[in-house]
Amino acid sequence: MDTTRNELNRNLAQMLKGGVIMDVTTPEQARIAQEAGACAVMALERIPADIRAAGGVSRMSDPAMIRGIQEAVSIPVMAKVRIGHIAEARILQAIDIDYIDESEVLSPADDVYHIDKREFDVPFVCGAKNLGEALRRIEEGASMIRTKGEPGTGDVIQAVRHMRTMNRQIRELEALRDDEVYEAAKQLAVPYELARFVHDNGRLPVVNFAAGGVATPADAALMMELGAEGVFVGSGIFKSGDPAKRAAAIVQATANWQDADLLARLSADLGEAMVGINEDEIETIMAARGE
């Protein structure tokens, strides 16, 4: 990937800012998401809550199913590959996907190495629990970062933890003397140039979204309050009682997260939220996949 391509891929993430990216499993769901105001959709065969319930190995979705979703909507279509699965990523690039999510939600294909994303023209988004992980993924070529949250639980606690950790570490790095950044880069296990960028600019060099456990308009507003530039909503929409209404409410809550009167109206009469499970009730911590 040349620098222009990398820049164009970061630019697409900039265009998604302030928006909601929704998990969908069918063209019909994709149309509902677009109609509700989603800024992109994530095409996958099973949403994270079902992946967690079903267990077993979870892989890239069927390209025919992804194509069906690409044909159904005009907004960008993303899809997931397993961590380290170079061939799945090549397949998604071949079907002209708009963004690849190298995702811990699927079963990792490689427990040591992530994909060398610089070898691809198509953009990648990767999950990160903290600043070190985020900068390592960016060094590998990711052009967008999201928190890992704990997918499929409907419990926002991990997304909150990751977003707070990341932004606290950014503030700490920013506050250092210039000559202290070398040691900070060593501690974070990241290249000096990226640590220096964060020190100088007080932000990641790419857009940073929240993901994992967002189920309500209030959850989306909370993540924006904590510094997310937009949100991914996975199981929270199509596992709820009235997906179209909930989706539209989360879109509006993300756009106007500071307006409490509006949030009160948006939160009313949404029907049943996904039941969810608490973080401490689950066996597989997906966020621990890929450091």
Q: How far is the CB of 277 from other proteins (least distance, A)?
A: 31
Q: Is 102 in the site for other proteins (CB under 8 A)?
A: no
Which residues, in sequence order, are bridge partners of residue 210? 231
According to the annotation, is 110 in a ligand binding site?
A: no
Plot region of 49 (φ>0 → left; ψ -120 to 50 → alpha; else → beta): alpha
- Residue 80 known to be catalytic: yes
Q: Which of 109, 214, 233, 248 binds other proteins (CB under 8 A)?
A: 248
Q: Which of 6, 26, 93, 107 binds other proteins (CB under 8 A)?
A: 93
Q: Is 97 in the site for other proteins (CB under 8 A)?
A: yes
Q: Which two tokens stand for residue 15?
A: 């265009």
Q: Which two tokens stand for residue 79?
A: 């899809």
Q: Is 119 in the site for other proteins (CB under 8 A)?
A: no
Q: Is 229 in the site for other proteins (CB under 8 A)?
A: yes
According to the annotation, is 212 in a ligand binding site?
A: no
Q: Is 122 in the site for other proteins (CB under 8 A)?
A: yes
Cα–Cα dist 186/233, whole Å: 34
Which residues 159-178 are close enough to bind other proteins by CB under 8 A?
none
Q: Which of 53, 172, 182, 202 binds other proteins (CB under 8 A)?
A: 202
Cα–Cα dist 168/47, whole Å: 31
CA-nearest of 69, 90, 94, 71 to 81 is: 90
Q: Which of 26, 107, 256, 267 binds other proteins (CB under 8 A)?
A: 256
Q: How far is the CB of 2 from other proteins (least distance, A)?
A: 11
Phi, psi of 229 (to 5 degrees): -95, 5
Measured from the CB atom, the residue of 193 and 291 that comes closer to other proteins is 193
Measured from the CB atom, the residue of 34 and 58 that comes closer to other proteins is 34
Taking only Cα atoms into account, the Rg of the chain, rounded to an integer number of angstroms, comes to: 18
Whether residue 13 contacts residue 50, with contact meaning beta carbons closer than 8 Å, is answered with no
According to the annotation, is 230 in a ligand binding site?
A: no
Helix, coil or strand: residue 101: strand
Cα–Cα dist 195/173, whole Å: 8
CA-nearest of 163, 128, 165 to 148 is: 128
Q: Is 247 in the site for other proteins (CB under 8 A)?
A: no
Q: Is 38 in the site for other proteins (CB under 8 A)?
A: yes
Which residues, in sequence order, are bridge partners of residue 240? none
Cα–Cα dist 73/42, whole Å: 12
Helix, coil or strand: residue 230: coil
Q: Could you tell me which stretch among 47-55, 70-78, 129-137, 209-217 binds other proteins (CB under 8 A)?
A: 70-78
Considering the candidates 80, 117, 148, 239, report the single residue annotated as catalytic: 80
Q: Give the total residue count for the chain.
A: 291
According to the annotation, is 164 in a ligand binding site?
A: yes
Q: Which two tokens stand for residue 220?
A: 């989306």
Which amino acids are annotated as binding site for D-ribose 5-phosphate, given as ranges? 23, 152, 213, 234-235
- Numbered residues of the known binding site for D-glyceraldehyde 3-phosphate: 164
**Contacting positions for other proteins (CB under 8 A):** 4, 7-9, 11-12, 14-19, 34, 36-40, 70, 74-77, 93, 96-99, 121-123, 201-203, 205, 227, 229, 248, 251-252, 255-256, 259, 262
For the annotated catalytic residues, the residue numbers are 80
Residues annotated within a binding site: 23, 152, 164, 213, 234-235
